[in-house]
Every structure is written in structure tokens, then in C-alpha cells.
Structure 1
Amino acid sequence: MTVHVVVGPERHGVVAHARLLLRQPALTDDQVIRAPDARRASECLRAHRSAHVHLHFTDRLFGGVARAASAVAALTAGHSFSVTLHDLPQASDGQHFAARRATYLRIAQDSSLVVVSSAHEARLLHALGPLDTPVEVVPLPITPPQREARPDGDAIAMAGFVYPGKGHERVLAAMAGLPPSARLLNLGAPSEGHAELADRYAARAARLGRDFSCSGYLSEPDLLDAMATVRVPVAAPEHVSASGSLTVWNAAGRRPLTTRNAFAREVAARNPHALRIVDDLPAAVERAWHEPEWTVLPRGVELQPTPASAARRVAQTLATVATEVR
């Protein structure tokens, strides 16, 4: 038996990803422990002494990089465990890279199986150090379109949490050729510990004669409504390992502009119509402003993997390690 442990606040992207998969038919018979933190999850896990445990891990959800590895060790003591790793460490983490590298490598080495959400993440993981643990790539699921796109208004929009390196200043610079009414809108709230970024980007926008605003948290229906109707959808991260805030545009019937990166190339290879990968962001933003239909997802396009097929892949993968435990 596998027990899935999902730790953290409802609004966190890793939690939302785990819960989406666990709602699919292939995984609904599995046991799930949903807890605000690792300590509470440990208390709940006492009732499942012989179970194989599967975690969805990013260091912030387990007390931060200084405590995450020990929190996972305490949680999984006496259990075999596998883990889906999110937000893989990379050199662009700067001063935090060494500590994150040590934490992720220890957890991967201690687990019986690692799942990651892109081939790029698998490469990042193997670059951290020696690893004998099997690694399985299960691409992020793409929810089929839930809205009919109706681009309008004057907003160039980015989606998800505001955090350093997501590309807001890059997009502001790319808006130079647009009419004065064009504004930058972030559909989502600042991530924990980065509330000051909204003010910084607003000040930067003002110096450029623009407006920047942040919607704050939006429920899923409200988020999809907004994504379906903004004029230009953009994703321009400076670094990314795998990003649900990129593919969620598809659920709103949009084909976002995205700067070229390894993850975007993977998504586009599986789904040629899902994204518009661009090398000249200012030219692409200007074209999309004048031709908003350029960012509308083609009607009837099928995107892979679906949540159901991704969940089946996870279930098949976990069945192997759970069987080995028995």
C-alpha cells in the first residue's frame, strides 16, 4: 500500500499539483495524508506503519532548506519512501544553491524512487552528485481547456506567484513599443517572503510610464476567467525547472508567449500548439498586442499528458516500488 503525504498550504503550486493527480481515477484508491506541516503528517502516518510513503517535496514546504532534510528523515523513519521532487536546485539559486543541493541530494539518495516533472529536472538532479536511486520523469499534466478565450483590454499578463527571476522586469522592457495604455498585470500574489517585489515592479513600471498591478490570490474559476480575457499572456522566466504556471494558460484556452528555455521546449515537443516560444520578446509582445488571436489555443487541440494519464503513469511507477517493499 502507498500512502501519499501532501504537506503545505492549499494555495501552494506543489500542493495543487499533488491534489490534482490524487483526484484522478488511477490514484483515488490510495491513502492520502493531507497536513499543514511535516510534524502533523508524522502524527497521521503512525496509523500506517507498514506502508510505502510517497512525498511531494520542495524545501519551503518542509521548514526551509536548513530543516527540510531532517524533517523528511523524521517523517519517513521506519518506512520505505519515494518522492516527487519539485523546484530542483540550479546554479541560478545563487548563495542558496549549495545548501539546496545538499538537501535535495540527501533526500534523493535516501529514497527508493525519485519522480520529477521534466527531463530538464532529471538532468539537474543528476548534476547534483552521485545518485543510484531510479529517476522517473512524469511530465506535468495539462488540464484541457475550460474556457473560451476572448482576448481584450490592455493587460499584458503573467500568471502565478511573484518571485525573483520570474521575468517581470524583462516583460516591462519588452513593452516599450506598445501604446501608453498597455499595463503589466500579475495574476496571483507575491510568494512568501517576497511581498516587496510588487512595490519594486510597480516603481519600475512607473519610471517607464507604465502601470504594474498584482491581483492577489485568485480562486481557480476566477483565475481561468482572467486568463481567458487578458490581451497578451506571457511567461518569461530567467530560469525554470518545470512550471505549472506556464501550462495553466492552456486550461484557459490560451497559447502564451514564452521565452526559450529547456522546460518550454519539452512542452512544445509534446504539444506543438500549446506555446509560442519566442526569441525576440519585444517583437512577439507587440505582435500579440495587435493580433490577440495569435495567443488563442487552436480549437480542438489535444494536449498531453492529461491529468488522468499523468496519474496513471504515477500509479504504475509507484506500484513497482510498493511491490518491492512487500
Structure 2
Amino acid sequence: MISAPPLLLVLGPEGHGVTRYGDDVARAVGALRPGARTVRVADVAAGDRALAGLDAGARVHLHATDRLFGRTPEDAADVVERWAERMRLTLTLHDVPQPSDGTMFERRRAAYARMVAASARVAVNSRHEQLLMDEFLPGVARAEAIALGARTGIPPSHPGDATRDLRVLIAGFVYPGKGHRPAVVAAARAADELRRRGEDVGDVAVRAIGAPSRGHEEDVVRLRADAAELGVAFEVTGFLGDDAFAAELLAPGIPLAAHEHVSASRSMLDWVEAGRRPLVVDSRYAAEMDALRPGTLARYAPDELAARLVDAWLDPTSTRLAPGASLAPTLDDVAASYLAWWAA
């Protein structure tokens, strides 16, 4: 007899990336196993109420990052420990601690170690994150690696861009380390190089498809001023609904994922699901995703960005996926992996 999946607890505000992905996985699990139960809660207090009615030892799975639970990493560890006392809790951990967390690294590392110790089992979203845990959370149980799943198996096909503007597109929240500043500098250099070659380049812009993360509004002001000095417009769309976000991903421009310290990236998948082939700064995670979905990314070294923008402007079809490109593993594949993992 195939065991039933755990209750799938989806925690967090609507629009949060981890919350949305947890909901995506829950819907895919429900499609494969119609009896699967999902409970969606906006915050910890609502989670407490939802879990209070469960039998002791009930099985629950949660996609988690420390920022969903409260103001501090310690808040997250406290909640996970409290919930794990009453039930068999499994976690998919996002935003695995790494030294680029800066002053928060040691606190996040201690909190994640507590969350892992309290949980029955833990998964992460990449082999890269599995290795981060081996490196920076030694002594804890090894996490299962289940890759992020695409919402579609084959992306839509679109013609190449036809524009003289040099526009660089970055999807997601605006915060330090996301790559907006290097993109501004590289865009200015790329435009200078193209004009030196006699190309008729129009406007030069870096467009952030999303809103600033809470507390980083002033970063946008500084980026806009610094970009203007280089002759580059820095544009920020603000928060967008699903349809408007999807339209922005299809707009003319060069898609870029320049996260300097990525653990696993939903925004890379956003691009390929829209049929785009983004430039992606090289990293262990980027190499893993390139091998997982061949031909869907264009990796570059940090000092190559300006030259790669030149190439992409000259050949905009290079920013579109080849017709029929496979994006597997899909959410259906991921749901099957979770069902097998929970049953093991």
C-alpha cells in the first residue's frame, strides 16, 4: 500500500517566493495524489491554530526560510522546534546559510542547525545547497536534494527582439548582491563599445522587474543616481501581478540573472518558463542548473558581462530558447520525487 503524503503546510504572505513555490509543489502533489491535504496560512499565529487540531505525531511538510517565521533566525528555530515537538515535521529548507550572509551568517547557521535537528528529515532544492549544508552545517543529518521544478515542460516560442535600445532585464526583488549595480556598469560599457563599432544604440537601461525588498528603498535611489552618471536609466517596476510580471519577461531586452551569492534561484526558472535564455553569472549552482536543463542558460564570468551584453544586443535571438527546449524536471516530476521521499 502506498503511504499517504503528509499534510502540506504552506506558510507565508501571498507573493513571497518560498510561499509561492511551496504552494506550487502542493498543487502538483494534489494533482498526482488527490487525497493530499494542503493548509495555507499567512503567518505563524495562523499556523499554530491550524496545527492545534492535528493528532500528536501527525506528519506535516513545510517549505521554510527563516524570514517567514519572524524578525530573527532565532524566531524561526523556536517555531520549528515547537511544532516539531507535537508532530513529525519534514522541511524543505530555502536560503541555506553561507558566508555571504555577512554579519547574520553565524546566527542563521545556528538557527538552521536547530531546525534540522528538530525535524524528522530535511530536503533542499539543489545539490549546491546540499553541499552548503555539508560545508557550513557539519554534523547535521544530510539533506535530500530535489531540484526546483518548472511550471511547464516546454516553454512558449517567441521571435527575437527588434529594438535599438540596450535594455538589461533583472527579475525579482531589488536588494544588494542581486546584481543590479554590476549590470548598470556593464550596460554602460557595452553601449560605449557598440557605439565605438559604429552601431546605432538607442536608450540604455537596466530594468528591475519587481520591487525593492523591505528596507532597501534607499538602494533604489542610489542606484538610479549612480546609473544616471553613466548614462544609464535604472527602472523599477514595483510589485507586479502574475500577468504583468509575465509580460515584462517577454519584453524586448537581455534577461540577466546576476545573483552574486545564490543558493537556489526561482528567477532563473521564471526566465526559462517564459522562453527566455538568460545570461547567468557562473557559480556552482549555475553549473548545476546548466547541466540539469542543457541549453537554457548562458553562463558568464563576472568580468565578461559587458562583452556578453554586446553579443546579446547584436544577436537578440540568443536570448530566446530554441523551439521545443525541455524544462524538465517539471513540478509534476518534483511532486513524484517528494511522494517517493516521504514514502521511503
Comparing 27-36 with 42-51, which one deviates more in the overlay?
27-36
CA distance in 2, matches of 1:5, 1:193: 28
Deviation at 1:209, TM superposition (A): 1.3
Deviation at 1:134, TM superposition (A): 4.2
Matches of 1:146 and 1:21 in 2, distance apart? 19
Deviations 1:21-54, CA, capped at 9 Å, x for gaps: 1111235532222111112111111222242111
Cα pair distance change 1:101/1:152, threshold 3 Å: farther
What SS is found at the alignment partner of 1:67?
helix
Identity of aligned residues (%): 35
Could you tell me which amino acid in structure 1 is paired with residue 48 of structure 2? S
Larger Rg: 2
How many angstroms does 1:255 deviate by?
0.4
Task: Tell me the C-alpha RMSD between the 2 structures.
Answer: 1.6
Matches of 2:243 and 2:157, distance apart in 1: 13
Is the Cα–Cα contact under 8 Å of residues 92 and 123 in structure 2 kept in the other structure? yes
Pairing partner for 1:237 from 237, 245, 259: 259
Which residue does the alignment assign to 1:302? 326
Report matched runs for 1:192-207 at 5 Å: 192-207=214-229
Tell me what 2:305 maps to: 281
Give the corresponding residue for 1:54: 61
Describe the superposition over 1:210-242 as per-residue Cα deviations: whole angstroms up to 9, x where unpaired: 110111112222212211123110111111010
Distance apart, 1:164 and its partner CA: 1.4
Give secondary structure in 2 for the equivalent of 1:240: coil
Q: Is the 8 A contact 2:81 2:114 kept in 1?
A: no
Is the CA contact 1:112–1:134 (under 8 Å) kept in the aligned structure 2? no
Aligned 8 A contact 1:255 1:297 in 2: yes
Aligned match of 1:324? none
Q: Distance in 1 between matches of 2:112 and 2:24?
A: 24
Gap change, CA 1:318 and 1:131, over 3 Å in 2: farther
Alignment of 1:153-164 (within 5 A): 153=163, 154=165, 155-164=167-176
Question: How far apart are the structure 2 equivalents of 1:133 and 1:66?
Answer: 20
Equivalent residue letter for 1:76: A
In structure 2, the CA distance between the partners of 1:281 and 1:79, relative to structure 1 (3 Å rule), is same
Give the total of aligned pairs. Answer: 320
Aligned partner of 2:179 in structure 1 is: 167
CA contact (8 A) 2:184 2:227 kept: yes
Q: Is the 8 A contact 2:80 2:118 kept in 1?
A: no
- Aligned partner (choices 235, 242, 245) of residue 223 of structure 1: 245
CA contact (8 A) 2:157 2:321 kept: no
Secondary structure (helix, strand or coil) at the match of 2:114 reads helix
Q: 1:195 to 1:147 in 2, by over 3 A?
A: farther
Could you tell me which residue of structure 1 aligns to residue 112 of structure 2? 104
2:52 corresponds to 1:43: no
The answer for unaligned runs of 5 or more in structure 2 is 192-200
Q: 1:263 aligns with which of 285, 299, 304?
A: 285
Match of 2:25 in 1: 21
CA distance in 1 between partners of 2:36 and 2:107 (Å): 33
9, 12, 15: which is aligned to 1:5?
Answer: 9
After superposition, residues 48-127 of structure 1 pair within 5 angstroms as 48-49=54-55, 50-63=57-70, 64-127=72-135
Gaps of 5+ in 1: 321-326
What is the alpha-carbon distance in structure 2 between the residues aligned to residue 315 and residue 238 of structure 1?
A: 33
Per-residue deviation at 1:249?
A: 0.3
The alpha carbon displacement at 1:180 in A equals 5.7
Go from structure 1 to structure 2 and tell me whether the alpha carbon gap of 1:59 and 1:28 turns closer, same or farther (over 3 Å shift).
farther
